[in-house]
Amino acid sequence: MRSDPADYQFFAPRNLHAVIALLAGEPGQWQPLAGGTDVMVLYGAGHLPHKKFVNIWNLPELRAITESPSEIQIGAAATYTDIRNHPAIQQNFPMLVTAASWTGGIANQNRGTLGGNIANASPAADSPPALLAYDAGILLTSVRGDRRIPYQNFHLAYKKTALAPDELIRAIALPKKFAHHLHHARKVGARQAQAISKVSLAAAGQLSDGVIADLRLAVGSVAPIPLRLTKLESALLGKSAASFPPSDLRRLLAEEIAPIDDIRSTSAYRSTVAANLIAEFLERLASPRQTLRANLDSAPSASHANSNPANETATNVTTANATLQSWNALSPAAAAAAILPCCGSQAWAVAMAAARPLADVPALLESSRQIWNALPPTDWLEAFRGHPRIGESQAPSSATAKSHEWSSQEQCQVAKSPEEVKQSLAEGNRLYEQKFNRIFIVCATGKSPSEILQILRRRLQNEETVELPEAANQQQEITRLRLKKWLNVAE
């Protein structure tokens, strides 16, 4: 049965001071409401327990993201879209950016807030493991003043937090001290996004003289609250990441987690997967190249994970590429900006910059392939939006100048095609966009206009579950060719 609006009160103060005064006047009676992504679901189903709501959406005091030399503070009402698009967060806290991309679809990311996700206190929430691994602090405010507590101390029990009845989460503070760590985020669920996790891991680590000098392991969906695995961290410090006994890892993990059987998974499955995810991270930490820094979410589906492997040989590839060497030496932000035109996905560019140093061109191309296949579809769609339609050489205004240049080169044959072919492509583009709500992506390099038209007509017959991976593979091939152009390497 749906809820009756007459049963609820809704108040929208104009500033933060008025909000906390209301909370103080009737402690525990007023429920802060920001994006409302959970509230509206419960309301629609008639299961909304609270009756009095105070609106904190769009309060400037809660939406700001500020940066200092030592930390970044994210306002509690900052959305996941705000987090995903913020350059300083991308550079310093890539696991949080990845977690933001896992949280629902684009509509939910535009409305859902970091503070709301924390206050909701679900052990399966996507952002808490990253916040735990990054030593986040929670800034709380009330009429009694402000206080700051470690996020690790915020969750007390299932759905129980350290938030007092008259308090509000004001901001989340993240210390900028992980520039030289390997960052690694993984989510195992029914899908890469828009699914509640069965197990999730956020891990950051650093080696010194071949042994683990610093380590942060945080997990979700394996206990009543999100957990930092402090016992396991302590046991691994000073040890070789490559030789820690798997039996010890499983034993120590079992002492810290308490997974349950539910409709999404079983306790035994969660325990096994959590151990495997940590072992995977330790393998990457022990790897000399440490090729993937963060942004590895749930394993790619079989429909695209093994397609277009792009295995590179040494033919026409020099191991001492001057452009690559210069790029390896850039700051993370500059490196991401420099490589972005090759793909168009911000998350891909940030992860590529974080994967450095990359020894040679084959290593760069392989890292690109792995990172691209690990991205959620929302990041694929961002890359697609940087291309012009087939038959239109002008890229969207959001694309970089280099992307404009490459788009014109890639479509040079189409630009010279007969008018009737151009009209057929335009009609095919219209039908494709009507069916899939995005532009048609194909690697046009080396293909005649007639070949492209034939491919377009064939793919118009695809279902979305087939078409999206195929479009992603085409984007991956475009990226591979652009990387070689960028490095001035012959195909």
Domain annotation covers residue 282:
yes
Which of 286, 309, 334 terminates a domain? The answer is 286
On whether residue 421 sits in a domain, the answer given is: yes
- For residues 320 and 456, state if they share a domain: yes
Same-domain pairing of 108 and 161? yes
- pLDDT score of 474: 92
361 and 489 Cβ atoms separated by less than 8 Å: yes
Q: Give domain status of residue 295, yes or no.
A: no
Q: Do 341 and 468 fall into the same domain?
A: yes
Residue 69 gets which letter from DSSP? Answer: S
Whichever domain contains 484, its CATH number is 1.10.3330.10
Higher pLDDT, 264 or 458: 458
Question: Does some domain include residue 363?
Answer: yes
Distance CA 108, CA 117 (A): 12
Q: How confident is the model at residue 419 (pLDDT cuts 50, 70, 90)?
A: confident
Q: Are 297 and 185 in contact (CB under 8 A)?
A: yes
Q: Strand locations in 17-60, DSSP E?
A: 31-33, 52-55
pTM of the model: 0.61
Domain-embedded: residue 293: no
- Domain final residue pick, 118, 144, 175: 175
Co-location of 261 and 304 in the same domain: no
Domain count of the chain?
A: 3
C-alpha closest to that of 331 among 133, 92, 130 = 92
Distances (CA, A) of 139 to 61, 68, 71, 82, 96: 12, 16, 13, 19, 18
Higher pLDDT, 469 or 401: 469
CATH classification at residue 95: 3.30.465.10
Give the mean model confidence (pLDDT) for residues 353-365.
Answer: 87
The full DSSP string for 454-488 is: HHHHHHTTS-HHHHHHHHHHHHHHHHHHHHHHHTT
194 and 239 share one domain: yes
Residues 6 or more apart whose Cβ sits within 8 Å of residue 62: 16, 34, 56, 75, 76, 77, 78, 115, 170, 171
**Pair 171, 190 in one domain:** no
Q: Are residues 130 and 55 in the same domain?
A: yes
Question: Which pLDDT value is given to residue 343?
Answer: 92
Helices 361-374 and 346-354, axial angle in degrees (round to 10): 130
Q: In 3-state terms, what secondary structure has residue 183?
A: strand
Regarding whether 349 and 451 lie in a shared domain, the answer is: yes
The mean predicted confidence, pLDDT, of the chain is: 85
Can you give the pLDDT at residue 313? 25
- The pLDDT tens digits for 155-173 are 999 999 999 999 999 999 9
Statement: residue 188 has pLDDT above 90: no
3-state secondary structure of 175: strand
What tens digit of pLDDT does each residue of 324-347 get?
A: 888 988 888 889 999 999 999 999
Mark whether 154 and 84 lie in a shared domain: yes
Q: Is residue 291 part of a domain?
A: no
Together in a domain, 125 and 102:
yes
Q: How far apart are CA 446 and CA 467, in angstroms?
A: 22
> Does some domain include residue 263?
yes
For residue 334, give the DSSP letter. Answer: H
Is 292 inside any structural domain?
A: no
DSSP label at residue 153: G
pLDDT at 455 exceeding the cut of 70: yes
Verify that 207 and 272 share a domain, yes or no. yes
Answer with the residue of higher pLDDT: 320 or 99: 99
More confident of the two residues 232 and 362: 232
307/428 Cα distance (integer angstroms):
25
Single-letter code of the amino acid located at 439:
I
Range of the domain at 41: 5-175
Our CA dihedral for 401, 407, 410, 415, rounded to 10 degrees, sits at -120
Q: Which of 151, 175, 199 is the last residue of a domain?
A: 175
Domain identity same for 351 and 443: yes
